[in-house]
Amino acid sequence: MLSQPFKSVVAQGEITVGGFLVMSLVSLLLGLLVSAAAVFIGKKSRSVSVTLTVIPLIVQVIIMIVNGNIGVGIGVAGAFSLVRYRSNPGTASDIMMVFVAMTSGLIVGVGYIGLAVIFTVIAIAAYAAVTAAGLGKRKRGLKELKITIPEGLNYPHIFDDIFKKYTSSCELIRVHTTNMGSMYQLTYNIVLSDEDLEKEMIDMIRCRNGNLDIICGMPPELSEAERL
């Protein structure tokens, strides 16, 4: 009984219309399951949801077509390697859900429908458990502060007294020049002691940086590739 999910429903080198329709339906259902998990657990966008729904079906069809043909399989892999994403970089969890969807479609494509269902359920359950446990969750109240200063200011300790008064923690994470080197932009990760005093802190910084640009907001969600 337990071995049934690990048996392929596809005969070697043979694809029937009925089998194709059944496997396509399973791929779409698994895509919907992964998409629902991404939306309700990971709070992903509509575009990510639609993509995750269709990916298993696309991968399943490709695998069914190249099944047993090593040459064509290598050609398809080469075509995939030429793909370049033109949209904004995704987060690590986005990439993980895409891999789950692709793997589900791949397993269905070789005929292991039961195994595909088991894998998808386990992957989503693990994702839900890790998310519920709050592992890797961003520190509460963490904000990113960007301050532009003239090149003549000695930036390492210029705002120390202000940060000591208004923040419980502060870390300078990046410095880069702007406006052809005539200005510096300092990027800090801060945690405010009292969020109601954010405007007061910004006004104090404005007096010191000559009323140049100041940006305070939530840190961007970076993918693992961007962090390396």
HEC readout, 98-127: HHHHHHHHHHHHCCCHHHHHHHHHHHHHHH
Q: Which of 82, 116, 133 is the last residue of a domain?
A: 133
Query: Same domain, yes or no, for 69 and 39?
Result: yes
53, HSE (Cβ side, Cα atoms, 13 Å): 11
Query: Do 181 and 206 touch, CB atoms closer than 8 A?
Result: no
Query: Same domain, yes or no, for 208 and 125?
Result: no
203 in a structural domain = yes
Query: Same domain, yes or no, for 147 and 90?
Result: no
Q: How many domains does the chain have?
A: 2
pTM, whole model, 2 decimals?
0.61
CA torsion sign for 124, 129, 131, 135 is negative
Task: Give the domain range for residue 77.
Answer: 4-133
The Cα 228–Cα 223 span in angstroms is: 9
Q: Which of 106, 133, 160 is the last residue of a domain?
A: 133
What letter represents residue 163's amino acid? F
Residues of the chain short of pLDDT 50, as ranges, are 1-2, 84-87, 222-228
The Cα 54–Cα 57 span in angstroms is: 6
121 in a structural domain = yes
Query: Same domain, yes or no, for 26 and 128?
Result: yes
225 in a structural domain = no
pLDDT of residue 206: 92
Q: Which of 107, 133, 159 is the last residue of a domain?
A: 133
Q: Which residues pair with 146 in a beta bridge?
A: 187, 215
pLDDT in tens, 65-101: 776 565 665 566 555 555 544 445 556 777 788 888 8
pLDDT of residue 225: 35
The Cα 194–Cα 174 span in angstroms is: 24
Query: Same domain, yes or no, for 162 and 129?
Result: no
